[in-house]
Structure 1
Amino acid sequence: MAEFLTSIVHNIILMTSLTAWVTAQLFKTMTAYWRHGSFNAERLVGAGGMPSSHTALVVSLAVSIALREGLESDLFALAVILAGIVMYDAAGVRRAAGRQAKVINKLVREMRVEHKVRETRLKELLGHTPLEVLGGAVHGILVAYVFYVLYK
């Protein structure tokens, strides 16, 4: 078991990607604090917000593979496709779902006034703006580059 954990910790590409995700979540928590003036622990693990931690993770994965294996490698191609899907989902599908949740929550509030519906609040912060996705991509690139410089 110790050998397994040691192997995981020494996998630089994995550690780079996880570091990008964790630090993006921390930045997301800080930006939410600066924006709203209060600490929200849900931001440490929740979806949505600036920067996109999912984007940071997959972009750092792709850049790490590019730096280590080269731009012509099959793994890089796979990582780029994965990153594209995740980024599209973050700024497209999940963002649209969040907007729909906002409208449904408003309808439920309005109908609740008339005592016709029991309130069930849907999570509205699901996706990202294109700027939040771009912020995650830049963060992922920077983390991958720092790891590359430190561990090449």
Structure 2
Amino acid sequence: MNLILGILTDYYFLAFIIAWICSILIKTGLTAWKKKTSLDIAEGLKNGGMPSSHSTVVAAITTAVYNIQGLTGLFFVSLVFSLIIISDAFRLRRIVGIHGEEINLLLKKIKKKPIEVIYGHSFFQVIIGIILGIAVSQIVFLIMYW
């Protein structure tokens, strides 16, 4: 029981989980609004979309590390991993989406069913995810330590 209570009251965990939930809920709402459909949490859990959940989560964790540890080695390790994940969400997944388009052209020629193409995130989606992650982490920090 103490382990569960310890996890549920841990700043790092709360910053991460609250940021992730906020990102999913915002993505769900924006997707429903854009598609003019009802809310479907499965839409919020899909890859791509606004905001980038990957960017939100890593920004929240890195901000949490900074808030507790300051400019330490742990912070810089967290920052480097965050930048790798953000780069993946923005660049690599976009390239994979372009490759998916090309694969679909080949599949069309041989009369096969196309694959689902996911493009990753736009720069704006990534930036909004980072801002959301930092904001959530700061709010959780202020609530817990002020």
TM-score of the pair, normalised by structure 2: 0.90
Partner of 1:68: 68
Distance, in Å, in 2 between the alignment partners of 1:147 and 1:20 is 10
% same residue: 24
Query: Are the structure 2 counterparts of residues 9 and 126 from structure 1 closer, same or farther at C-alpha, using a change threshold of 3 Å?
Result: farther
How many residues align? The count is: 144
Of residues 51-60 and 31-40 in structure 1, the stretch that sits farther from structure 2 once superposed is 31-40
Distance, in Å, in 2 between the alignment partners of 1:124 and 1:118 is 15
Alignment equivalent of 2:129, drawn from 136, 139, 150: 136
Q: Which runs of 4+ in 1 moved over 6 A?
A: none
CA offsets per residue over residues 105-135 of structure 1, 9 Å max, x none? 3443x32xxxx4331x423225111111001
Query: Are the structure 2 counterparts of residues 29 and 106 from structure 1 closer, same or farther at C-alpha, using a change threshold of 3 Å?
Result: farther
Cα pair 1:49 1:125 within 8 Å, conserved: no
Distance, in Å, in 1 between the alignment partners of 2:82 and 2:13 is 15
CA offsets per residue over residues 50-81 of structure 1, 9 Å max, x none? 000111000010111111111x2122111101
Partner of 2:85: 86
Partner of 1:36: 35
Cα pair 1:17 1:57 within 8 Å, conserved: yes
Cα pair 1:91 1:133 within 8 Å, conserved: yes
| Amino acid in the other structure paired with 2:135 | L
User: Shift of residue 41 of structure 1?
Assistant: 4.1
Instruction: Name the Cα RMSD after superposition.
Output: 1.6
1:8-27 correspondence to structure 2 within 5 Å:
8-27=7-26
TM-score of the pair, normalised by structure 1: 0.86
| Amino acid in the other structure paired with 1:103 | E
